[in-house]
Structure 1
Amino acid sequence: MYGATLAEAQPWIGNYEERLDLILDEIGNRFPGGYHIFLLNIYDPTDGIGDVRNAGLPAWSDGLQVLGAYNTIIEEACEQRDDTTLVDIHSEFMGHGIHSTQFWRSFYHADDPGYWYYDNLEDPNDRGYDAIRRLTLNKMAEILPQKLKINAGQAPAVLAP
């Protein structure tokens, strides 16, 4: 799909939405006693600029729009389900991509201008993985105590053999 226009990517985007809904629905069917999913959105190594050529990749004029479409699907899936919470790594990673040292940009982090991506630009480096771990654990600490408190007052579910 790399390099596809937003129009060309629509079949993949639609398929992703259908598969994500199916996966989340099936999890709900298989865990009637309760569960909670923490779903992460997708980071942008270009810091919202979309200039992947600066990272040595071929230009992708609609790359940010395609990424945005996927993140919208993820965010909407989380909003539609009480048992699914978004972990927003996209926002947290903003300013830690290929423009992380450009102090004149609005996303610049003076306190931590570090680059959070591995050499292949697709994967996080150790600092990026640490940020993902921290964001996920903090979101879990925010959501789970209240969720477990609510569930503690309910009778345990009995699963059929």
Structure 2
Amino acid sequence: MSISDDVLEEAAVALGDLLRERGLMITTAESCTGGWVAKALTDRAGSSDYVHSGLVTYSNEAKRVLLEVTDKSLTEHGAVSEPVVREMVAGALAATGAQVAVSISGVAGPGGGSDEKPVGTVWFAWGRSPADTESVVEHFSGDRDAIRRQAVLFALQGVRGFLQEQG
């Protein structure tokens, strides 16, 4: 599935409008997307109304130091896992003071996959607090760019859906 820049822009604008309408600031904690969610959100003039910050925590060390992801979660589950993305949300909220956080960690390829976590496996989490954080895993196909584009779109749409459900 090929996702165009226009589709990403549309999703980012929709989330940005909702964040602005609700008076919320978002922070991103990204690994395999390398800051692409933050980029999509900040491509729009005036995005400082709703984008607090973006953290690219690609290495495990960055996840530990910047987001306080535990050694236990990284060792027992690996960086591409539900416990890690949930801790990334909690850490991003605590580190920044933003009201909403989204985290992403996955295997974008072309290498790095395993039988348990093949290329295209991406974990997401979003929330306003550790208690209300939601997490989900998706399995995307395509090359590295296609997987990353799908992950960015899924994150933007996922956060928007989460906020709409909260009312």
> Which TM-score tier does this pair reach, normalised by the shorter chain?
0.3 to 0.5
Larger of the two Rg values belongs to structure: 1
Q: Name whichever structure is richer in strand by fraction.
A: 2
TM-score (norm 2): 0.36
